[in-house]
């Protein structure tokens, strides 16, 4: 593509007659004819060849040209044209501001707004609307508030687009106080669009006020796919996955056309609670509506499918999705590696990691989460040498500074393998303060290998650094270490101390899917509607296994627990 250089833009352009068939021979062609040529332009090359003697400053030509460049994402050409304008009108300033909001450089839009303020051009509702949108995208709340003040001073507050963008500005970046301001603007609006409602809804979700978000959602006179997706995503991202999937089913009943963002949110909820049946249904829906259609499948959707299958324990199906992906990212590789690691398939995880490294041209580079998955795989598979090697190479080879999670993996790896002294030295020499997970990994190794002395030292550290609720599980571990070593006096002392401190161990929780319904179980809970038949079945299983000669190992549980 050939365009005039920046230095020539301020001078009249030269008409390249042969580039435009049928163009008049005279450079002083009638304005109407040139405007018609510009109106019919559909490529950047044609637009740059339309030249006028003196008409380059005409507002209609500039706006058409700028609009063409903006719609084609050619921000560079927008700047070239703008620099050649002697005295930009309000409409021209609006175009340059809009170009940066649309082009992903919203801070620049605020800078151009400030330049416009210093010029002779007067901002209008379109100016304020675009600038406030830029402030919201750039998370520049203070600058947005200054524009808001200008809006009130100039009487442009009644503009529905300005009001909607103000709601979005405060809802996006203002926290709870900003949400209150957004609500005030929202309540003062005489006309509310679905976009206004969606901005309020998103504000409540960002503040993790999901009940407030649901009240807004239920009050909406009109909902679109963004409304539904915001609510489903909010539930899924904040651990309320049953509600996310219930709303997703309601969305289907309402016959709302699903988009790929909605499906990513629903798949993440399926992954969290292990709803494989619903996840497979979504996969089939994707294949039927997106994979072979005109709309390309988003990378994030394929990644969500891998995560769902891996989290539901069907790692082979996750791998099938992975190997069929036309494009992969670091997230794709990391999800696959972590999936194998969680299933205890360390060899496969490391094979995928080596494969990832061999494809440098793919652009997928290991990050800190990738290496965390690799170290977990080594820990679960007992690959001590490989784990230590990858840990040492993190900074040297990939430029990744190990975080406390990586140190925790290596401590766990060494402790599981019985290298307790090495694990202890690593904990003592870490560049950051060890957390309870690091000490807990070492304590678990002490239990396995009955190292009472080291376990006692670790317990003292935990007692000093953690509150009773956090330390509960580790005190139980220490009690079990004494129990395994048959140090009964220490067992009694430890458990009396736990009672005195009010330590309560967090009960275990599990999920099981039966006939498409996910059931939630809590240890010792008797609130399930089928409690009686469940316990009757457990009693029958217990009798049967005892008849087969099974003897329970209760050495690793608290005193007083029934077999």
User: Domain for residue 407, yes or no?
Assistant: no
Question: For the segment 459-472, what is each residue's pLDDT rounded down to a tens digit?
Answer: 777 766 666 566 56
Structural domain ending residue among the three candidates 289, 319, 349: 319
Q: What is the pLDDT of residue 535?
A: 83
Can you tell me the distance from the alpha carbon of 135 to that of 118, in angstroms, rounded to the nearest whole number? 19
Residue whose C-alpha is closest to residue 306's, from 298, 297, 296, 317? 317
Residues 352 and 392 placed together within one structural domain of the fold: yes
Are 302 and 360 in a shared domain?
A: no
Mean pLDDT check: name the lowest of 119-123, 444-448, 488-492: 488-492
The answer to whether residue 497 sits within a structural domain is no
Domain annotation covers residue 127: no
Residue 263 lies in domain: 223-319
Span of 282-286, 346-350, 532-536 with lowest mean pLDDT:
532-536
Relative orientation angle of helices 175-188 and 194-206, to the nearest 10 degrees: 160
* Residue 231 covered by a domain: yes
pLDDT at 8 over 50: no
**Residue ending a domain, choose from 387, 402, 417:** 402
In whole angstroms, what is the distance from residue 325 CA to residue 398 CA? 25
CB distance 444 to 415 below 8 Å: yes
Q: 513 has which bridge partners?
A: 518
User: Is 168 domain-assigned?
Assistant: no
Which helix (H) or strand (E) segment holds residue 37: the answer is: helix 31-39
Task: Answer yes or no: do 356 and 292 share one domain.
Answer: no
Same-domain pairing of 341 and 304: no
Give the per-residue pLDDT at 560: 40
pLDDT at 441 over 70: yes
DSSP structure string for 377-439 = HHHHHT-HHHHHHHHHHHHHHH-----HHHHHHHHHHHHHTT-HHHHHHHHHH-SS---HHHH
- Mean pLDDT value of segment 184-189: 92
Residues 360 and 390 in one domain: yes
The region of weakest confidence among 33-37, 116-120, 293-297, 508-512 is: 33-37
The answer on pLDDT for 28 being more than 50 is: no
Q: What is the pLDDT, as a whole number, of residue 24?
A: 41
* Residues 229 and 302 grouped into a single domain: yes
Q: How far is CA 271 from CA 267, 305, 333, 376, 471, in A?
A: 6, 9, 17, 20, 29
295 and 355 share one domain: no
- Band (5; pLDDT cuts 50, 70, 90): very low
202 Cβ contact partners less than 8 Å away, ≥ 6 residues apart: 168, 171, 172, 230
Question: Residue 121: which of 77, 163, 86 has the closest Cα?
Answer: 86
Nearest to 274 by CA among 508, 520, 506, 526: 520
Task: Looking at the structure, tell me whether residues 338 and 314 fall in a common domain.
Answer: no
| Residue 342, domain member (yes or no) | yes
Predicted TM-score (pTM) of the model is 0.74
Give the range among 23-27, 47-51, 127-131 with minimum mean pLDDT: 23-27
Look at the chain and report how many structural domains it folds into.
2
DSSP string, 194-261: HHHHHHHHHHHHHTT-HHHHHHHHHH-SS--HHHHHHHHHHHHHTT-HHHHHHHHHHHHHTTPPP-HH
Q: pLDDT grade, residue 55 (50/70/90)?
A: very low
The residue among 287, 319, 351 that closes a domain is: 319
CA separation, residue 248 to residues 26, 217, 288, 299 (Å): 64, 14, 18, 21
Confidence of residue 527 (pLDDT cuts 50, 70, 90): confident
Neighbouring residues of 395: CB distance < 8 A, sequence distance ≥ 6 = 401, 402
Indicate the average pLDDT of the chain.
81
Read off the tokens for 497: 């101390």
pLDDT tens digits, residue range 82-110?
Answer: 777 778 889 888 888 988 888 888 999 99
Q: Does some domain include residue 230?
A: yes
DSSP 305: H
Does position 11 have pLDDT exceeding 50, yes or no? no
Looking at the domain assignment, is residue 215 inside a domain? no
The pLDDT assigned to 362 comes to 56
């Amino acid at each position: 593509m050939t365009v005039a250089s920046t230095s020539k833009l301020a001078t009249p352009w030269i008409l390249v007659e042969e580039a435009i068939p049928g163009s008049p021979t005279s450079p002083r062609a009638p304005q109407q004819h040139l405007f018609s040529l510009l109106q019919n332009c559909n490529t950047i090359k044609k637009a740059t060849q339309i030249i006028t003697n003196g008409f380059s400053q005409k507002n209609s030509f500039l706006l058409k040209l700028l609009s063409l460049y903006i719609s084609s994402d050619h921000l560079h050409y927008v700047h070239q044209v703008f620099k050649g304008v002697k005295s930009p009108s309000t409409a021209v300033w609006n175009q340059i501001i809009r170009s940066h909001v649309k082009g992903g450089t919203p801070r620049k839009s605020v800078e151009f707004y400030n330049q416009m303020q210093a010029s002779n051009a007067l901002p209008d509702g379109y100016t304020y609307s675009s600038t406030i949108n830029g402030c919201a995208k750039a998370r520049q709340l203070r600058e947005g508030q200054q524009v808001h003040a200008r809006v009130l001073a100039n009487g442009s507050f009644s503009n529905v687009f300005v009001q909607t963008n103000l709601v979005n500005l405060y809802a996006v970046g203002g926290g709870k106080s900003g949400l209150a301001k957004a609500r005030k603007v929202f309540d003062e609006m005489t006309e509310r669009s679905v976009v206004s409602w969606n901005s309020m809804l998103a504000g409540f979700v960002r503040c993790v006020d999901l009940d407030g978000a649901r009240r807004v959602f239920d009050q909406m006179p009109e909902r679109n796919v963004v409304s539904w997706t915001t609510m489903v995503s909010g539930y899924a991202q904040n651990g309320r996955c049953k509600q996310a999937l219930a709303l997703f089913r309601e969305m289907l009943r309402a016959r709302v056309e699903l988009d790929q963002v909605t499906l990513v949110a629903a798949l993440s909820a399926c992954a969290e609670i292990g709803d494989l049946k619903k996840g497979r249904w979504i996969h089939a829906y994707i294949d039927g509506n997106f994979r072979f259609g005109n709309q390309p499948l988003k990378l994030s959707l394929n990644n969500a499918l891998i995560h769902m299958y891996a989290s539901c324990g069907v790692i082979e199906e996750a791998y099938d999705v992975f190997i069929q992906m036309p494009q992969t990212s670091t997230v794709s590789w990391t999800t696959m590696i972590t999936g194998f690691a969680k299933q205890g398939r360390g060899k496969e995880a490391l094979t995928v990691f080596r494969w990832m490294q061999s494809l440098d041209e793919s652009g997928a580079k290991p990050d800190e989460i990738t290496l965390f998955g690799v170290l977990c795989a080594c820990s679960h598979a007992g690959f001590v040498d490989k784990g230590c090697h990858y840990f040492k190479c993190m900074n040297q080879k990939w430029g990744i500074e190990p975080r406390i999670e990586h140190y925790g993996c290596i401590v766990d790896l060494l402790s599981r393998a019985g290298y307790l002294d090495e694990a202890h030295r690593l904990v003592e020499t870490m560049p950051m303060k060890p957390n309870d997970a690091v000490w807990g990994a070492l304590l678990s190794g002490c239990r396995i290998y009955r190292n009472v002395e080291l376990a006692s030292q670790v317990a003292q550290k935990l007692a000093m650094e953690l509150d009773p609720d956090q330390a509960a599980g580790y005190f139980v571990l220490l009690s079990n270490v004494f129990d395994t070593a048959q140090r009964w006096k220490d067992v009694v002392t430890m458990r009396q101390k736990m009672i005195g401190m009010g330590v309560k161990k967090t009960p275990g929780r599990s999920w099981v899917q039966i006939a498409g319904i996910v059931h939630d179980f809590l240890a010792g809970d008797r609130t399930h509607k089928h409690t009686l038949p469940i316990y009757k079945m457990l009693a029958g299983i217990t009798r049967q296994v005892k008849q087969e000669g099974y003897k329970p190992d209760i050495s690793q549980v608290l005193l007083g627990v029934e077999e």
